[in-house]
């Protein structure tokens, strides 16, 4: 019995002496070094105003992941406010745009292209409303270009 107890204690001590590695979920591998470095987040802001209709997009880029807000704000009513979530490859962002307009939740798969001047957003001709697809506006794809602005205001 004493031998069994001594053996169990030795195993516990041996297990405690082994190095334990912790993994940082927010770290990205830098191929130029052998160390892990924290993933950098970048926040970008874009705006446009045409005939009193203001469009605002605020994006957070972390590695290949993109999250943010996309709001279309006419001067009166029927604003479209929502969130975007997607991935970035090169200068192209493929995202899902979930928003509410006129009391209805809608979803679109959109494409955003980062340019030297700002952000070009391409929206499809159809939207998903409560699981069903409907033509949006003219039923045709639309593109709008927003200027990059300072996120501080």
Dist. CA 107–CA 129, nearest whole Å = 7
What percentage of the chain exceeds 70 in pLDDT?
73
The string of pLDDT tens digits covering residues 82-102 is: 999 999 999 999 999 999 988
Alpha carbon distances (Å) from 153 to 18, 120, 140, 150: 52, 21, 33, 6
Q: Mean pLDDT throughout 11-38?
A: 48
Residue 25 has pLDDT above 50, yes or no: no
Q: Is the predicted pLDDT of residue 32 greater than 80, yes or no?
A: no
Tell me which DSSP letter residue 14 carries: H
The values of phi and psi at residue 93, to 5°, are -115, 125
pTM: predicted TM-score of the whole model, two decimal places = 0.69
Residue 5 is given by DSSP the state: H
- 117-128 pLDDT per residue, tens: 899 999 887 777
Band (pLDDT 50/70/90 cuts) for residue 40 is confident
Residue 124 φ then ψ, to 5°? -75, 170
Mean confidence (pLDDT) of the chain: 80
Higher pLDDT, 17 or 113: 113
What whole-number distance in Å separates Cα of residue 127 and Cα of residue 50?
23
């Amino acid at each position: 019995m004493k031998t069994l107890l001594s053996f169990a204690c030795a195993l516990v001590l041996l297990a405690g002496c082994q190095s334990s590695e912790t993994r940082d979920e927010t770290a990205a591998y830098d191929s130029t070094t052998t160390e892990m470095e924290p993933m950098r987040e970048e926040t970008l802001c874009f705006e446009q105003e045409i005939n009193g209709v203001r469009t605002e997009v605020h994006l957070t880029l972390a590695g290949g992941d993109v999250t943010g807000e996309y709001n279309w704000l006419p001067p009166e009513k029927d604003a479209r406010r929502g969130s975007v979530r997607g991935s970035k490859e090169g200068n192209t962002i493929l995202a899902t745009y979930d928003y509410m307009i006129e009391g209805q939740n809608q979803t679109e798969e959109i494409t955003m292209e980062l340019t030297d001047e700002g952000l070009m957003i391409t929206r499809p001709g159809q939207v998903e409303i409560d699981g069903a697809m409907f033509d949006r506006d003219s039923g045709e794809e639309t593109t709008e270009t927003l200027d990059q602005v300072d996120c501080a205001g």
